[in-house]
Structure 1
Amino acid sequence: MKNKTAIITGASTGIGKETAKYFLERGYNVVMNSSSEANLKKAFEDLGAPSNAAYVPGDISERKTAQQLVNLALERFGSIDVLINNAGVFSPKPFLEVTKEDLERFWKINLLGTYITSQEVIPQMVKQQAGAIINIGTVLVDHAIGGFPATAPLTSKGAVHAFTRQLAAEFGKDNIKVNTIAPGIIRSPLQGKMGIENADSLSGLHLLNRIGEAEEVAEAAYYLATADFVTGETINIAGGHTVGHSI
């Protein structure tokens, strides 16, 4: 039986890179994307430059990047079975200090990139009458934190959550499953980019009193990629973050 193919955006570091590794180890063909060609090439080489992987550098908010991903996946591997819209940016900023440029940056990468890439992939999934799309959101959409002002990125991520549900409704008849993974605090380079030097200091936000690992998000993505009766859902991978807190 032909191996299935997954496209993973934002795959050069953190959750995206670990998810690419997880799928490759389970026999998937993987087409990786990142806006940084140098980081993407390094990630590809770190994974052993496997024959069942390929990569396309480029800005995911530009349609030509999504088209290149689709074309490469079909030329090299013959199908597109899974799309993981992982590429995104996130950083806190007080509401009254947010600029138009801040908003445009988050909406462009987090929402527009997810929307356009899905638009380019779905025609092939309709043709196949099968497919899975997994969008990466955040638990903060449903569980805000007063001391972590993030209205700008959260409006874009909230839109991704809504996009998931409507897309699931529109393409359920074509056997295309669309779901969201909403991570809590996950050990990745993202914390450093936000100025958080010790990510483990945030463990108390989760009932399990630890932060998550990128592989745990990859496990959830693999489950959703293979689940045949799950669509329109948001799966929290957050150690109980949305349920309550320890004191």
Structure 2
Amino acid sequence: METRKVAVITGGSQGIGAGLVEAYRRHGYAVVANSRNIAASDDALIRNVQGDISDPSVASTVIQTAVDTFGRVDTLVNNAGVFIAKPFLDYTHDDYDNALRVNLGGFFHITQQAVAQMSAQGTGHVVNVTTTLVENANSSVPSALASLTKGGLAAVVKSLAIEYAARGIRFNAVSPGIIKTPLHAVEAHPTYAALHPVGRMGNIDDVVHGVLYLEQAPFVTGEFLHVDGGQSAGN
């Protein structure tokens, strides 16, 4: 089992995270997935760990589960996150705390644990799922808290890519547009589709394909891959 590649995916119970779990399994990886409400899997090569990823003890349990069960951690996909769309003055202290706790704390604790393991192995890959709104704000989608927190995930990619380049660990980010997931009401889909130059919302598979490209591109590190239907190109 220690020769099989292992992916750890946060926010793995639905939407993009669930799509990533399925895709990595199709590619032969064992998977450890985390979410606050994730059921046990019947697949012997999937371990699901319930809990709030912003809690350092949960983050530690997720990585320890991967090492104890499968012997290693090859890839970490930091997919868990919250998106709170409000005008700036409408954000509450709870909104602020929630965004920082999940989007930044949920990255920081588990990534430290994963990179420690990857450093011992001499190889590894971390992918952060951010949002294209970090670089391409849109007046139709108020996103200050997402930009503040997901912007941190984008910025740290380059810093860590350089810090760990000589140690065999890569860091990249996928920056999606608006993706069809349970987070978005169906009646709002036409409005969201119109925000993309290609005229449609993204599908979960679009983001999954982006992450898998980065997974299979060993000479790519410190990269932001826009999966946003042309939003980053202009409008």
* Shorter-chain TM band: over 0.9
In the alignment, what sits opposite 1:165?
A: 158
Which of 116, 120, 136 aligns to 2:113? It is 120
User: Is 1:177 equivalent to 2:149 in the alignment?
Assistant: no
Runs of 4 or more off by more than 3 Å in structure 1? none
Q: C-alpha deviations, 1:219-244, integer Å up to 9, x for none?
A: 11112123211111110001101112
CA contact (8 A) 2:128 2:172 kept: yes
Q: Distance in 1 between matches of 2:120 and 2:187?
A: 47
Q: Distance in 2 between matches of 1:200 and 1:3?
A: 43
Q: C-alpha deviations, 1:96-148, integer Å up to 9, x for none?
A: 12222211110110011111110011011011111000001000001111122
Which of 134, 151, 159 aligns to 1:141? It is 134
Which amino acid in 2 is paired with 1:121? A
Which of 221, 230, 233 aligns to 2:220? It is 230
Which amino acid in 1 is paired with 2:35? S
Q: C-alpha deviations, 1:33-84, integer Å up to 9, x for none?
A: 0012xxx11xx55xxx211111111111111111111111011111100000
Which amino acid in 2 is paired with 1:2? T
CA contact (8 A) 2:214 2:220 kept: yes
In the alignment, what sits opposite 1:27?
A: 28
In the alignment, what sits opposite 1:18?
A: 19
Q: Distance in 2 between matches of 1:226 and 1:65?
A: 29
In the alignment, what sits opposite 1:111?
A: 104
Q: Distance in 2 between matches of 1:209 and 1:219?
A: 19
CA contact (8 A) 1:133 1:225 kept: no
Q: Could you list the runs of 5+ residues in structure 1 that have no partner in the other structure? A: none
Q: Could you list the runs of 5+ residues in structure 2 that have no partner in the other structure? A: none
In the alignment, what sits opposite 1:87?
A: 80
CA contact (8 A) 2:134 2:146 kept: no
Q: Under a length normalisation based on structure 2, what TM-score does the superposition of the two structures give?
A: 0.95
Which amino acid in 2 is paired with 1:149? P
Q: C-alpha deviations, 1:159-217, integer Å up to 9, x for none?
A: 1111111111111111100011000011101213xxx6332432122222111111111
Q: Distance in 1 between matches of 2:214 and 2:58?
A: 25
SS in 1 for 2:24: helix
In the alignment, what sits opposite 2:4?
A: 3
Q: Distance in 1 between matches of 2:141 and 2:229?
A: 19
SS in 1 for 2:148: helix
Q: Under a length normalisation based on structure 1, what TM-score does the superposition of the two structures give?
A: 0.91
Q: CA deviation at 1:31?
A: 0.2
SS in 2 for 1:187: coil
Aligned positions, number: 234
Q: CA deviation at 1:153?
A: 2.1
